[in-house]
Every structure is written in structure tokens, then in C-alpha cells.
Amino acid sequence: GHRLKMWYSVQAGLFSKTRYVRAVDDVSISIGKGETVAMIGESGSGKSSLGRTLLRLYKLNGGSLIFDGKDITKAKESELAWFRRRAQMIFQDPFSAINPFHNIKFILEEPLIIHGVGGSAAEREEMVIRTLNEIKLNPPEDYLYKYPHMLSGGQRQRVAIGRAIILRPDFIVADEPVSMLDASVRVEILTLLKEVQQKMNIAFLYITHDISTAKYFSDRIAILYAGKLAEVGPYRDVVKDPAHPYTQALIEAIPDPDPSNRFHDKKVVGGEPPSLVNPPRGCRFHPRCPFAMDICRREEPPMVEVKNGIYAACWLHIKK
Ligand code: SF4
Ligand code: MG
């Protein structure tokens, strides 16, 4: 496989409860301490499921999750408090992460209370104020007693980020954290995320449908297609010279140098993403691939190292 530092790894064979759909199929990925990985995929590619699986919000059915050397695959929820403290999630919709009936002070303080961090109310308030500074809601005193509806969408997402960082986590999954925000604030929020990532040395899985935003979280990039990894590698190398035809199509579809115009869920290649209920045989990308050969329709390509640190699952790169 394509594993680097074994700090956090997942091998997920994930099934939905009702239909035995494999949302993610034998995906194997490792994220190093402080490393940022951008996970790119169309809607329905399984990327959100994978992110939630990494946080043990979804159950695994097969495979394993190793976090900082500890196997948490089968740990009971009651045994996971330490993990819940160290691994956080930022959602697409800030409203799903923050209670509209609580003020900002309590919203930020709540994780501290849950995890028993910060001895006294005064200490906790200090941490809340520090966090408001970190998410740049200044001056903090103006925000403590506001309610979410009094804030803009971008400010609410800042509060959701504050909730995620106040415990000083080691790992954050951010699932499309800017796709519901106004174009004008998207780069601002991505820049803030990058800033806290660097300052706190947080490992990040940044999930997005938009490869052009991956530059903000760019140690490595992972391309997911129909629940399988198509390509993984260092961001710069992959973008400069993509190995997988699907990655090539994604990069060619980046339309506009102006980042504020780039956030639409574009059709990047002709045809529809395949159903995960009944995925195509062989290479799942073959119905849409301009290079498809006979073998692609019959046999699934294994993931191989194509060149230094770049892994792809494509028959074009396998010498037979
Ligand atoms: Fe295209 Fe075949 Fe490569 Fe799949 S394995 S991406 S169908 S060339
Ligand atoms: Mg999603």
C-alpha cells in the first residue's frame, strides 16, 4: 500500500446499514502527525463516509483504524473519550455543529466541560477568549453573549472552527467546510483553517469536491472515485503531472484562475458517477475513461507506485 508515517491509518470496508452499499471499499490511507491531506471526490464518491469513518462516527465493517498507535477499530464508545478529545470534525453546515439556543461563550466552552478541561469557570472563560482571538472574532467581549443567528455564515463557521480547536486536537476532519458559504468569505475561512493547522500542528483531512481548493491543504492529495482511491501523492507532483485519467480530467476542468469563481460542483468528465449499489466491473472509471482498454472492463487495477510517492490504480501504469 501507499502508507507513509503510520500515525493514523484506516482500511475501511464500510457498509451502510440498510442496503449493504459499500460507500468506501478497501480504502487504505495513512495521515502523518501534522500532515494535511486533501481528499477529492464528486458527490456520491464516498468521501464524507470515509471522513466520518476516520472519526469513528460511522461503523466499520472490516478493516482497521489505528490512531497514534492504538487500535480503535472495535473500541467501545465509553473507551473513546481520549480519542474524541483529540480528533474533531468541522461540518459543511455550521448550523449542524452549533446549538442555536446557546450563546457563543457556551458553544465554545461546552467541549471543555464535556472533556473536563480547564479547572474553573474563569480558566474556561480565558480559553474561550483565547479561542475567539484565534478565530479572529475581535474583540472577543463583543461575541461572548451573542447567539448564532446574530452572526454571518462565515462568522458561524469560525465559531464551529473554534469549537473544534479549543481542545487542541491532533486531528481534524473538515468536510466541505466552505461550500455553503458566500464565495467572498471562502478563501478567508480556508486561510484561517490553514493558519490554525500550522500554528497547532494539526493533522488535517480536508474533504472537498473542488480540487482547486486543495492548495490550502496540500501536503498530499487523495483522489476518491466511486468509493475507491484512484490516486494519492504529494499535491504539487500530482497537480503537475497526474497519473490517473480521472485526476487528469479533474485538473483540466479547473476553469478559472480567479478563486472566487471556482466553487461550483462542475461535471468534470462526461457521464454520471457510477452507482455504488452496482459499481462497474473492472476499473470503476472505465465507462467514462477515454483510455479504457479491454482489461479495464474485466479486471480491477491494483494501486501501484507510479513514481516517487505517487500511487495510482490504473492499468496504463502497470506493465504486464
Ligand atoms: Fe482508464 Fe483503464 Fe486506467 Fe481505468 S484502468 S483509468 S479505464 S485506463
Ligand atoms: Mg458530502
ipTM given for this complex: 0.95
Q: Encode pLDDT of 152-175 as tens digits.
A: 999 999 999 999 999 999 999 999
Q: Encode pLDDT of 85-128 as tens digits.
A: 999 999 988 777 788 899 999 999 999 999 999 889 999 999 99
- The CA distance from 99 to 103, in Å, is 8
- Give yes or no for residue 291 CB within 6 A of ligand 1: yes
Strands (E), the chain: 8-15, 22-31, 36-40, 63-67, 70-71, 87-90, 171-175, 203-208, 220-225, 228-234, 304-307, 310-312
Ligand 2 centre distance from Cα of residue 207 (Å): 8
pLDDT confidence of residue 17: 36
User: What would the CATH number be for the domain defined by 8-97+177-184+205-317?
Assistant: 3.40.50.300
Ligand 2 centre distance from Cα of residue 43 (Å): 6
Average pLDDT over residues 211-230: 89
Domain ranges of the chain: 8-97+177-184+205-317
- Give yes or no for residue 151 CB within 6 A of ligand 1: no
Ligand 2 centre distance from Cα of residue 273 (Å): 14
- Give yes or no for residue 228 CB within 6 A of ligand 1: no
Count of helices and strands (H, E) across the chain? 10, 12
Considering only 257-261, 268-272, 302-306, which range has the smallest mean pLDDT?
A: 257-261
- What pTM did the predictor assign? 0.88
Q: Report the share of the chain in percent with pLDDT over 90.
A: 58
pLDDT confidence of residue 74: 86
pLDDT confidence of residue 227: 84
- Give yes or no for residue 235 CB within 6 A of ligand 1: no
- Give yes or no for residue 250 CB within 6 A of ligand 1: no
Mutate to test the pocket of ligand 1, among 225, 281, 289, 311 (most ligand atoms within 8 A of CB): 289
